[in-house]
Structure 1
Amino acid sequence: MKTADCDILIVPGLRGSEAGHWQARWAGRLPTARIVAQDDWHAPTPAAWCGRIAEAVAAATRPVILIAHSLGVVACVEAVPRFPVGVVRGALFVALPDVEEAPNLPDLVRAFAPVPRDPLPFPALVVASRNDPHCAYDRADDFAHAWGALTVDAGESGHINVASGHGPWPEGLMRLAGFLKGL
């Protein structure tokens, strides 16, 4: 699959994606990509966030590829039962937070627990860092396994955001291209 053949829905996490974040850059660079906007990036609720994602998937005119970061990953997985069957063809999930066990997350994201563990009805890659402060690598791999997704070991990459030095993140674009090629 090529990017021109699909609608790429980019789903940021808590506080959205700042201008230098790889998601914001990809949204500007990939012609079929758009960011799924939330009403409130600073006070997320599962119903509102999952509803927005499900609306964006339902409104797509081509097969959908989800690209989610952080809390956006959890919201996407929670929204899956609301998706029209067969519309989402794949997902790239990056730096999911462990909303169940990570001790350093704000209480407002704990409302997204528990994280669904049902197998996903589409192929997915879960990119996880060995030193992500919001999710232990083993936990990310466990979630990926439950979802039927492949885990991509990003090494010691922090939370794979601007603060960890991942502005443009060309390695991620290469990973996305390889993933799409296999669909």
Structure 2
Amino acid sequence: MEKRIVLDDKAIDRTLTRISHEILENNKGAKDLVLLGIRTRGEFLAKRIQSKIERIDGVSIPTGVIDITHYRDDVTDRVSPDVIAYDIDCDLSNQHVVIVDDVLFTGRTVRASLDAILDHVRPKRISLATLVDRGHRELPIRADFIGKNIPTSTNEEIVVMLDEIDEKTQVYIK
């Protein structure tokens, strides 16, 4: 199947700039704002958003990574309640946590990240930012900040490539 590029590096950069502005507007600034990127590509997107927010508002907001491996509903071994699945240098209590992911599809990854956070802390609010929303939700989950809606068939795949781990930055359908 042939790949169709839907976002190039410049479009992704503009999209992340818009999402950064939307997050700041929704939160009324950077106060009590924290970003958690879902490993792997969400982690790098969160860092890019952090950098843009710093340029826009002049404030460096805490940014970390969340690993939902042991919280997935297709894993039979449940994680010990002592294991914290996120890594960030601040307390998430009473913070507005924005979960960042590359593609929102069924909603199961987001559900797992919510479980990972709520097992350990009670944030003031949790929002979701995603670069691409492709539909086909299996759970009642929606993104608060969406880069691009790309309706797809279940036979198609959305591929997000980022310079940090891939040879170039782009989003394509295959």
TM-score (normalizing by structure 2) = 0.44
Between Structure 1 and Structure 2, the one with more strand by share is 2
The structure whose Rg is larger is 2
Larger relative helix fraction: 1
The structure with higher relative contact order (CA 8 Å, sep 6+) is 2
